[in-house]
């Protein structure tokens, strides 16, 4: 390479890099076709961008955007409480067991079970009472 370089590579190293980057001949395209394709791509891109701008300029998308923005704002300002209501759950479970309360008297007397001495001497107490 004849160009003066201000790097710290030796001429051998530069030649090595030049050979590594040279490789086979680049298969060049037909430039006329290339430019025509580029112009078509650019036109398509500009048309798409213009179409998008026109779409956003219509009243419906603007109304839709405002609607979505308002919904988001409402959601942020008044968040829906999505935590489960534990007391309501409790009530529901208790409601399912309401049948137990029909025998409340029996349940109340179960306290007697705590009096083991009384239970052990139940026959005697009954006979004494009798």
Partner 1 sequence: MSDEGEAASDEMLCRRIATRDEGSFDLLVTRYQARAYRIAWSLLRNAEDARDVSQEAFIRVWQGASRFRGDARFSTWFYRILVNLCLDHKRRGRWWTRLVMRDDAGDADDSLVARQPAPGPDQGELVSEAQRSARLWEAAHRLAPQQRAAVILYAQEHLSTAEIADVLRIAEPTVRVHLHRAVAALRRELAP
Q: What is the rounded CA–CA span in Å between residue 23 and residue 27?
A: 12
Neighbours of 123 (CB within 10 A): 8
Q: Which is nearer to partner 1, 30 or 78 (CB)?
A: 30
Q: What is the rounded CA–CA span in Å between residue 17 and residue 13?
A: 6
Positions that interact with partner 1 (CB under 8 A): 1, 3, 5-9, 13-14, 16-29, 31, 34-35, 37-38, 41-42, 45
Q: Which is nearer to partner 1, 7 or 81 (CB)?
A: 7
Smallest distance, Å, CB 47 to partner 1?
13
Q: Which is nearer to partner 1, 18 or 89 (CB)?
A: 18
Residue indicated by tokens 């029996």? 106
């Amino acid at each position: 390479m004849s160009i003066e370089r201000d790097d710290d590579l030796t001429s051998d190293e530069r030649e090595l890099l030049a050979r590594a980057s040279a490789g086979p001949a680049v298969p060049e395209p037909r430039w006329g076709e290339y430019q025509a394709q580029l112009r078509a791509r650019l036109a398509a891109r500009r048309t798409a961008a213009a179409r998008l701008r026109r779409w956003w300029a219509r009243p419906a998308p603007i109304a839709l955007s405002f609607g979505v923005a308002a919904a988001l704002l409402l959601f942020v300002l008044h968040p829906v409480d999505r935590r489960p209501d534990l007391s309501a759950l409790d009530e529901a479970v208790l409601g399912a067991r309401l049948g137990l309360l029909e025998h409340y008297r029996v349940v109340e007397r179960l306290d007697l079970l705590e009096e083991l001495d009384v239970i052990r001497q139940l026959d005697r107490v009954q006979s004494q009472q009798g």
